């Protein structure tokens, strides 16, 4: 039986080489492209046909989610009314590996008539697309990764990498931060952590509360009740300390015969790590990571115990 893994390895190596080979072809036109996009007063529009169009749509999505308003337009649709959405304040990036795609080249003069600058992306710096462009990004590859050297493989990977390079450059130029990214991804896990508050994810019912005089056996039951690995000792409505799974194990090891006669007061931690219910989930996660713990006691603005947040809720 053929070892098909070898084909995968060759494909990976060919496409990796296609990307690294682009470094030698990088010119000042890349900086010009970043400058055009950054200073664009309208929309940054990406266009392309076929596989180039699919790659363009992905690049547009990446840019839009990282602070650069962008959308994709198929040039075939532009002939049937979509051209009306373009303004002279826009910037267009046109993708064609050959630089000679007929459907795209018939669309380009219509943009130039509106004084819309074009960023050309192709594997041929002498192509018509390159000549029409205000700046040209060269994504030339020596060969495609497929055995027939026909299917767009290495060339589409190189084009996608060029789009990612633009996105990375613009993220730095715009000083785009993770909190900004979350605004564009409120439904994702990052958005949840950056935008949600502790109160949105904490356990706030059936809380594990003990008295400082409770025996260890009663405390173990409370700790197990919520599976949070912690019980909170309350005195006169205030937090006196916490007992964790670790406290119980250490007491069992140290006290042995006295273990079941111990009270909460004898084994609890009197300086528990506390966080406000109004804090962001990221703050809670960072705090647990800093102190190498798995849960935090949550308080309200009156410093009253209102919940427990664990590390799983911050993911």
pLDDT in tens, 224-266: 877 788 999 999 889 999 998 888 888 888 887 888 889 999 9
Q: Residue 22: which of 105, 116, 76, 97 has the closest Cα?
A: 97
The secondary structure element, H or E, covering residue 239 is strand 238-244
Tell the CATH topology of 198-314. Answer: CBS-domain (3.10.580)
Q: Which CATH superfamily is domain 5-176 in?
A: Glucose-6-phosphate isomerase like protein; domain 1 (3.40.50.10490)
Which of 164-168, 200-204, 276-280 has the largest mean confidence?
164-168
pLDDT of 53 over the 90 cut: yes
pLDDT at 192: 55
Q: Which residue has the higher pLDDT, 220 or 156?
A: 156
Residue 182 has pLDDT above 60, yes or no: no
Cα–Cα distance for residue pair 193/94, rounded to 1 Å: 36
Give burial (CB, 10 Å; 0-12/13-18/19+) of 156: buried
- 148-152: Cβ within 8 A, 24+ apart: 152/51, 152/52, 152/97
The β-bridge relationship of strands 91-95 and 44-48 is parallel
Distances (CA, A) of 67 to 41, 177, 234: 14, 10, 47
Helix axes 154-173 and 28-38, enclosed angle (nearest 10): 60
Comparing 197 with 158, the larger pLDDT belongs to 158
d(CA 39, CA 118): 14
pLDDT digit string (tens) for 141-164? 999 998 888 889 999 999 999 999
CA dist 211 to 234, 236, 262, Å? 6, 10, 13
Predicted pLDDT of residue 183: 52
Residue 64 confidence (pLDDT): 85
Residue 180's pLDDT band, with cuts at 50, 70 and 90, is low
Residue 219 has pLDDT above 70, yes or no: yes
Q: What is the domain partition of the chain in residue ranges?
A: 5-176, 198-314
pLDDT in tens, 73-123: 888 876 655 666 788 899 999 999 999 999 899 888 888 988 999 999 999
Confidence of residue 223 (pLDDT cuts 50, 70, 90): confident
pLDDT score, position 131: 95
Mean pLDDT of 170-178: 81
> What is d(CA 130, CA 223) in angstroms, rounded to the nearest whole number?
68
Residue 109 CB burial class (10 angstroms; 0-12, 13-18, ≥19)? exposed
Bridge-based pairing of strands 274-276 and 295-299 is parallel
Confidence check: pLDDT of 286 > 70: yes
CA distances from 76 to 57, 73, 251, 253 (A): 15, 8, 74, 75
For residue range 54-71, list pLDDT tens digits in order: 999 999 989 987 888 888
Average pLDDT, the chain: 87
């Amino acid at each position: 039986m053929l070892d098909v893994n070898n084909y995968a390895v060759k494909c990976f190596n060919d496409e990796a080489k296609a990307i690294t080979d682009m470094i030698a072809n990088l010119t000042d036109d890349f900086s010009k492209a970043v400058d055009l996009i950054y200073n664009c007063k309208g929309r940054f529009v990406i266009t392309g046909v076929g596989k180039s169009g699919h790659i363009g749509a992905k690049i547009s999505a990446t840019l839009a989610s990282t602070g650069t308003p962008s959308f994709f337009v198929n040039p075939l649709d532009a002939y049937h009314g979509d051209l009306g959405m373009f303004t002279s304040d826009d910037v267009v990036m046109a993708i064609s590996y050959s630089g000679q795609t007929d459907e795209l080249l018939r669309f380009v003069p219509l943009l130039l008539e509106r004084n819309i600058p074009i960023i050309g992306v192709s594997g041929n710096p002498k192509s018509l697309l390159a000549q029409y462009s205000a700046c040209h990004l060269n994504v030339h590859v020596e060969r495609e990764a497929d055995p027939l050297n026909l299917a767009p493989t290495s060339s589409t990977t190189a084009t996608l990498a060029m789009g990612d390079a633009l996105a990375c450059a613009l993220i730095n130029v715009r000083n785009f931060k993770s909190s900004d990214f979350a605004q564009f991804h409120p439904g994702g896990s990052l958005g949840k952590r950056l935008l949600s508050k502790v109160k949105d994810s904490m356990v706030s019912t059936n809380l594990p509360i003990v008295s400082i005089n409770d025996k260890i056996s009663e405390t173990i039951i409370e700790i197990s009740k919520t599976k949070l690995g912690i019980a909170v000792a309350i005195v006169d409505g205030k937090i006196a300390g916490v007992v964790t799974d670790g406290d119980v194990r250490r007491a069992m090891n140290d006290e042995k015969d006295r273990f079941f006669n111990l009270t909460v007061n004898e084994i609890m931690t009197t300086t528990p790590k506390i966080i406000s219910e109004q804090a962001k989930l990221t703050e809670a996660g960072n705090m647990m990571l800093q102190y190498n713990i798995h849960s935090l006691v949550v308080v309200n603005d009156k410093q009253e115990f209102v919940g427990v947040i664990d590390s799983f809720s911050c993911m």
